[in-house]
Amino acid sequence: MSASDNPFYTALALILGMDSDLIDIVVLSLQVSLVAVLIASALALPVGAALALWRFPGRNGLIVVLNALMGLPPVVAGLCVYLLLSRAGPLGSFGLLFTPSAMVIAQVILVFPIIAALTRQQVEALQHEYAEQLRSLGLTQLRMMPTLLWDARFGLLTVILAGFGRASAEVGAVMIVGGNIDGVTRVMTTSIVLETSKGDLPLALGLGIVLLTLVTLINALAHAVSEAAKRRLG
C-alpha cells in the first residue's frame, strides 16, 4: 500500500489541507444533524416524559410502536419524506425537496423515536424511585415532568447523543431527500457513498475517518460538559 492509498494518510491530508469543499461538507453535515437533533429533542423529551407519567388507554401500544420505530430504516424514512415533499406530494408547494431543510425533516423522523422511547424509559425509572416523595408533595404529573426531566439530565444527555449518532451516521434518508447535490446538499455520508462508487476507496475511507473523528470530538465535548456540571452541582 503506497502512501496515497493509505486511508489514514488521506484522512490526515484532508484535515490538514483544510480543503474548502471539505469544510463546507463538514459544516453542512453538522448543521443538518445538530438542528435535527435539537428539533427532535424539543419534541421527544416532553413526549417521552408524558408517556412515562400519564396512564391512558393505548399507552402500551404507543410504547411498543415508539420502540419499534427506533429501528426504522433510514431509506424508508427518506422515501416517506420524499413522497411528502415531492411536487406531486401533499407538501410539494413548499419546494423543499433537494434542500437541507428536507434532510433535517428526514433526520428528525429518524431521531425522534430514539429520544422519545429512551426518555420514557429513563423518566419512568426515576419516577418509581421517587414515587413516595412525589406523592407526599402531591404534585400533578404536569408539575412532575420538568422536575423529573431535569433530574434525569445526565442520562438524557446520553440519549440525545445516541440520537445524534443516528443522525450523523445515516445515509439512506439524506441521499433520497437531499439528492447529494454538490455544494448544496452533499454531506459526509453521501460523499463517502459517492467516492466509493467512483472506486476511490482511500478517499472514501479517509472521509469516514474524518467523520468518526468529528463525532468523537462532539461526544468528548458533551462528556466533559456533563462531568464539569456533575462536579459543580455535586
Partner 1 sequence: MKTTTTLITASVCTTALAWSASPLADDDFITLASTTSTENSGLFDAIIPTFTEATGIDVRVVAVGTGQAFEIGRRGDADSLLVHDTAGEEQFVADGYATERLDVMYNDFVIVGPSDDPAGISDSESVADAFARIAESGSPFASRGDDSGTNRAELRLWEDAGVTPQGDWYRELGSGMGPTLNTAAGMDAYTFTDRATWVAFDNPQNLTLLFEGDEALFNQYGSLLLSEERHPHLKHDLAAQWHQWLVSEEGQQAIADFEVGGQQLFFPNAK
By CB under 8 A, residue 161 contacts partner 1: no
Site string for partner 1, 8-27 (x = CB under 8 A): -------------------x
Backbone phi and psi for residue 18, each to the nearest 5 degrees, phi listed first: 45, 40
Contact residues for 200 (Cβ-Cβ < 8 A; gap 6+):
none
Q: State which amino acid sits at residue 140.
A: T
Determine if 97 is a binding residue for partner 1 (CB under 8 A): yes
Q: Which residues in 177-196 contact partner 1 (CB under 8 A)?
A: 179-182, 184, 194, 196
Residue in 56, 136, 233, 234 binding partner 1, rule: CB under 8 A: 233
> Residue 150 Cβ, how far from partner 1 at the closest point, in Å?
11
Q: Is 76 in the site for partner 1 (CB under 8 A)?
A: no
SS3 content of the chain, % helix, strand, coil (to 5): 80, 0, 20
Please give the Cα distance from 80 to 108 (Å, whole number): 13
Q: Are the beta carbons of 162 and 111 closer than 8 angstroms? A: no
Binding site for partner 1 (CB under 8 A): 27-28, 31, 34-35, 38, 86-89, 92-93, 95, 97-101, 179-182, 184, 194, 196-201, 225, 228-229, 232-233
